[in-house]
Chain A
């Protein structure tokens, strides 16, 4: 069974940093792109960032480019999101999701983890 488990969320002050992790199991981790998607309280879904299977290619939403860094450790089946200079508007539940298969053509997110809550407040 494919499982994704996020961790690392919490309460931080504006301007501080936080590193999220997503532990993956049940599939060949390095064969799939991975994404982070966030959801502010009471709001819709927002794609944040994606990384290719090898980690060589990374992509970001305009809202976080230059502030967040996505990475992965394929030896530990773990995805990361380093979030710097956090703003109040970054407050959200952050989900990791399994993405496109390397060499595949379909593009979708399945499955999703349960999410980890990041709260940015003074």
Chain B
């Protein structure tokens, strides 16, 4: 099972919106609504941002939103802030030989 495909890096200026894509297959992203997104700051554990494609846990800023179209999931960060500079990972449930697969990760830089 190969990792889901994410862009290596995305950047934006404060206040702007950016979108991170997560490309999978019909066995994972395209086959289920079990896509989640995680934010990881350097040296820290990952933090859940979005689950089941577009649901936001309590306590997560509404600047983070998720969506899916076909085999591609997306995370949008609106009103970009300096604190959003981190690594972001998508994850999907999969019906392949493994159970879950993570994306390759995207480093977000706030210019």
- In the assembled complex, the Cα of A11 lies from the Cα of B35 at a distance in Å of 34
B104 within 8 A of A: yes
- B34 partner residues in chain A, CB cutoff 8 A: 106-108
Q: How large is the interface on A (under 10, 10 to 19, 20 to 34, 35 or more residues)?
A: 20 to 34
Query: How far, in angstroms, from A62 to B3 measured CA to CA in the complex?
Result: 12
- Is residue A59 contacting chain B, with contact meaning CB distance below 8 A? yes
Please indicate the chain A residues that have their CB under 8 angstroms from the CB of B105 in the complex.
44-45
Inter-chain contact A44/B45, CB cutoff 8 Å: no
Do most interface residues of chain A lie in helix, strand or loop, or is the interface mixed? loop
Q: Give CA–CA (A107, B34) in the complex, Å.
A: 6
Q: Is B70 an interface residue (CB 8 A)?
A: no
Query: Is A61 within 8 A of B102, CB to CB?
Result: no
Q: Which residues in A have their C-beta under 8 angstroms from that of B38?
A: 45, 109
Categorize the interface residue count of chain B. Answer: 20 to 34
Which residue of B47, B57, B98 contacts A61 across the interface (Cβ within 8 Å)?
Answer: B98
Residues of A within 8 A of B (CB): 35, 37, 44-47, 50, 59-62, 95, 106-115
Residue contacts A-B, CB under 8 angstroms, 30 given: A37-B46, A44-B89, A44-B102, A44-B104, A45-B46, A45-B89, A45-B105, A46-B102, A47-B91, A47-B98, A47-B99, A47-B100, A50-B99, A50-B100, A59-B98, A62-B1, A62-B97, A95-B45, A107-B51, A107-B93, A107-B100, A108-B34, A108-B91, A109-B36, A109-B38, A109-B46, A109-B91, A111-B47, A112-B45, A112-B47
